[in-house]
Amino acid sequence: MGDWKIGDDRRRRSTDQLRDLDRANDGQVFWDTEAPADFTYLFHPDHVLVGAEDVEDFEAFAARLDKGVLAEPPRRDDVRLLGGDLVRYVLAPRPGGESVPDVLALLERDGLRLGAATPDHWVHVSPGGGGGGQACPATEPEETGLTEPWPPVAPQDEGCEVKVVVVDTGWNPPSGSDGRTPWLKGVDGDDELNGPDLRPYAGHGTFIAGVVRCLAPRTEVFVEGFAVGGVGGGGILESEIVGQLEEAMAHHPQVINLSAGCRTRLDLPSLAFARFHRRHLRGKDVVVVAAAGNDGWAAPFWPAAFDWAVGVGSLDRDGRVSSFSNYGVSADVYALGRNIVNAFPDGTFVCHESPNKGDVRVFSTGLARWSGTSFAAPVVAGLIARQISETGSSAADARDAVLARAVYDSDPVIGPHQELRQPYA
């Protein structure tokens, strides 16, 4: 296919990230463009997701397809998703080489309702680059000489306990008992199994849990890991992350932080996230805070773009919207996301993305500096949790109160006592 890494650093980074994700998932990551740096969404090469009420139509239209496209009917996967509300099919090899999006386009041409069936998209915590469909962070972690977090710990003497679940890459247990990061005492989660050689995305969930705890010290935080042990290269399929979200709900959270997401085919709402909301969140007092993504554009990034999620974009230290931050429908509010400092595992990290590929970074202070909408999201999640704790309000009322403190601005600029910004409607 040639060397698609030619171009600016953003395109090279996108290509590096995508190649890494594909290798970590045994070549099961496909994209919608020839050059990987230009992709808008990622998908499994054989999976199709269908809502339960559209199963009969999908199977009927698939049966009518030319046998040169589908030599065999789609096989219904035996994985039970969302209590059967979501069905995953596996397409047999296509003699003509049609991709999943090609097959869906043919079905829709013949009359299948648009959105009834979708690819199984890859949800990822990868940095943003020159391509699309990426989440966070915007940089690889950097060493810092600082000994305190930023934003700093906001002391809180009184208030009820609030439950927050961070659905992310897992938890670094040593950080919870490290004297250098006392704000993480009592945090628990799925052990991400770090060693002296740190994998890509190691510490991502721990760092986010630390940001939440700094803003809201009286929170019970659990890190639900979807890439424990480095499995998946920081990515997970739509059809699989809903299971992790169901596990998160078993902890009875009032706030869920998800610093990951995806673009989708035709920018249609993510079917898996929509079904999770319908089954588990509708009528429940749970607020989902999601990163808006780091591609610097306005296309919808799911789940942040849903009206039931609080999508968070990033501000620089000077209060302006970060150059990497998504905006538009995915960003309901902006918070500090550039050069955040918080807990990080000790160890050696070798950068794997251009232009720093091969750079060796040694972490030995229990902290790191990191940037991205990944880290702006837990600022907002922490503020909502603190509002619940201090007022005893519902999660929904706390969300509304926190968002009401944001100032509307076409180009958000932060002031000394103004934490959040909203774009003009």
- Please write the tens of the pLDDT for every residue from 4-34: 545 677 777 778 888 888 888 899 999 998 8
Q: Which domains does the chain have, with CATH numbers?
A: 40-425 (3.40.50.200)
Average pLDDT over every residue of 283-299: 94
Average pLDDT over every residue of 345-368: 94
Handedness of CA 53, 59, 64, 65 (dihedral sign): positive
Which pLDDT does position 421 carry in this prediction? 62
Which pLDDT does position 129 carry in this prediction? 43
CA distances from 345 to 138, 263, 363 (A): 19, 30, 7
Confidence of residue 423 (pLDDT cuts 50, 70, 90): low
Confidence of residue 125 (pLDDT cuts 50, 70, 90): confident
Which pLDDT does position 17 carry in this prediction? 81
Q: What is the DSSP letter of 5?
A: T
Average pLDDT over every residue of 203-228: 94
Which pLDDT does position 401 carry in this prediction? 96
Which pLDDT does position 317 carry in this prediction? 87
How far apart are alpha carbons 193 and 181 in whole angstroms?
Answer: 19
Which pLDDT does position 138 carry in this prediction? 72
Q: Which two tokens stand for residue 75?
A: 């096989």
Average pLDDT over every residue of 341-366: 94
How far apart are alpha carbons 40 and 30 in whole angstroms?
Answer: 11
Q: Which amino acid is at 314?
A: S
Average pLDDT over every residue of 360-369: 97
Q: What is the DSSP letter of 284?
A: S
| DSSP symbols for 95-155 | TT---HHHHHHHHHHTTPPTTSEEEEEEEE-PPP-SSSS--S-SS--B----SS-BSPP--
Which pLDDT does position 287 carry in this prediction? 98
How far apart are alpha carbons 259 and 307 in whole angstroms?
Answer: 17
Is the pLDDT score of 155 beyond 70? yes
Which pLDDT does position 216 carry in this prediction? 96
The whole-model pTM stands at: 0.92
How far apart are alpha carbons 384 and 399 in whole angstroms?
Answer: 5
Average pLDDT over every residue of 394-416: 75
How far apart are alpha carbons 17 and 234 in whole angstroms?
Answer: 10
Confidence of residue 416 (pLDDT cuts 50, 70, 90): very low
Which pLDDT does position 97 carry in this prediction? 93
Helical pair 373-391 and 395-404, crossing angle rounded to 10 deg: 120
Which pLDDT does position 175 carry in this prediction? 98
Is the pLDDT score of 105 beyond 90? yes
Between 137 and 326, where is the model more confident? 326
Average pLDDT over every residue of 42-66: 96
Q: Are 142 and 231 in contact (CB under 8 A)?
A: no
Which pLDDT does position 298 carry in this prediction? 93
Average pLDDT of the chain is 89
Between 354 and 300, where is the model more confident? 300
Which pLDDT does position 410 carry in this prediction? 53
Helix (H) or strand (E) holding 384: helix 373-391
Q: Which two tokens stand for residue 122?
A: 């890859």
In this structure, the chain runs to a length of: 425
Task: State what percent of residues in the chain have pLDDT above 90.
Answer: 75
Average pLDDT over every residue of 392-409: 91
Average pLDDT over every residue of 303-307: 97
Which pLDDT does position 79 carry in this prediction? 87
Q: Nearest-CA neighbor of 48 among 109, 5, 99? A: 99
| pLDDT tens digits, one per residue of 240-280 | 999 999 999 999 999 999 999 999 999 999 999 999 999 99
How far apart are alpha carbons 168 and 344 in whole angstroms?
Answer: 14
